Structure 1
Amino acid sequence: MLIEIVPITLKEANSFVSAYHRHHGPVTGHKFSIGLAEGEKIVGVVIVGRPVSRYLDDGWTLEVNRLCTDGSRNACSMLYSAAWRAARAMGYKRLITYILESESGASLRAAGWKCIGQAGGLRWTGRRRPTVDLYPAQMKIRYQKEAID
């Protein structure tokens, strides 16, 4: 059966993330979400919002905050590409995301994203850090897709 891009609400996308994501939970807000369906069945979602890092929140940049699939072939690459097309159509110049150091990044490279290198630390720091780790304590790798004007 054909896999296709479909509209999806944040509530529906977060429900999928709760059921399938390996190490992250739902998000509280977003700019937009995109679903991927095989017939009536949702097989993947991408949730895009403002960058978590305030230093990157320049008004021209968005961040893929969650990308989650059920393992369907090529689903991740399709969602990364769809997220970039939507962000560009809205006038954004850059889309970023982070993966764990233990992840390969193959889907991002297949979708034409560029590896920027290590970003962030192993854990949150500062007064507002969570008392319990919310994600695996690994270095993150930042990827981005940027408009060439």
Structure 2
Amino acid sequence: MPIQTARAFIAWTQPHLASPAGAAFALGAQSGDGTLVGVVLTGWPTAWAFDDGDTAEVLALATDGTSDASRALLGAVWPLVREMGYRRLIAYTRIEESGTDLWDAGFRVVPRPFGWWDTAGRAGDVARVLWAIRVVGGRR
């Protein structure tokens, strides 16, 4: 789907969430009648430490509350980025969020020191948990 459409959906459903500056692509989920119920923006990692050419990042995920829309989007984005040649997909949750949909899609919490990011010192930032799903085996 067009990235601008995904940005507009994010602004409509989650006005408090700032849309990321850059994104490689967007996916959308529709209900049976064709109504857009969720979007995911995916791109390059925002943290330079993960910008290794093998890693993509879920930059934003928003739904209208439709049951399982986020699970469907997360489940669809991983095979797509693998097909594009990426070996790892990362995402962040706020420390107080459960991450159930990420877990169900195969993501796992990255252990500390990389799994917990205390960015509360920067304006508007909160502590976050890093999640990742990766290709098993190989050289890396």
Q: TM-score, normalised by structure 2?
A: 0.88
- Identity of counterpart residues, as a percentage? 31
Question: What is the CA deviation profile of residues 105-136 of structure 1, one whole-angstrom value per residue up to 9, with x for unaligned ones?
Answer: 01011111101131242143xxxxxxx52xxx
Where structure 1 has 5 or more consecutive residues not aligned to the other structure, the ranges are 1-7, 125-131
**How far did 1:102 drift?**
1.2
State the distance in 2 between where 1:110 and 1:22 align. Answer: 26
Match of 2:100, as an amino acid? A
Choose from 93, 117, 120 the match for 1:119.
117
Cα 1:122–1:31 change in 2 (3 A) is same
| Aligned residue number for residue 126 of structure 2 | 138
State the distance in 2 between where 1:123 and 1:83 align. Answer: 31
| Aligned residue number for residue 68 of structure 2 | 74
1:65 aligns with 2:53: no
The structure in which a higher percent of residues are strand is 1
| Aligned residue number for residue 103 of structure 1 | 97
Q: TM-score, normalised by structure 1?
A: 0.83
**How far did 1:35 drift?**
0.2
Match of 2:68, as an amino acid? N
Question: What is the CA deviation profile of residues 35-70 of structure 1, one whole-angstrom value per residue up to 9, with x for unaligned ones?
Answer: 000122100000001000011100110100000001
Where structure 2 has 5 or more consecutive residues not aligned to the other structure, the ranges are none
CA contact (8 A) 2:118 2:126 kept: no
Q: Please give the root-mean-square deviation of Cα atoms over the aligned residues, in Å.
A: 1.4
Match of 1:143, as an amino acid? W
CA contact (8 A) 1:118 1:142 kept: yes
Moved segments of 4+, more than 4 Å: none
1:50 aligns with 2:38: no
Number of equivalent positions: 132
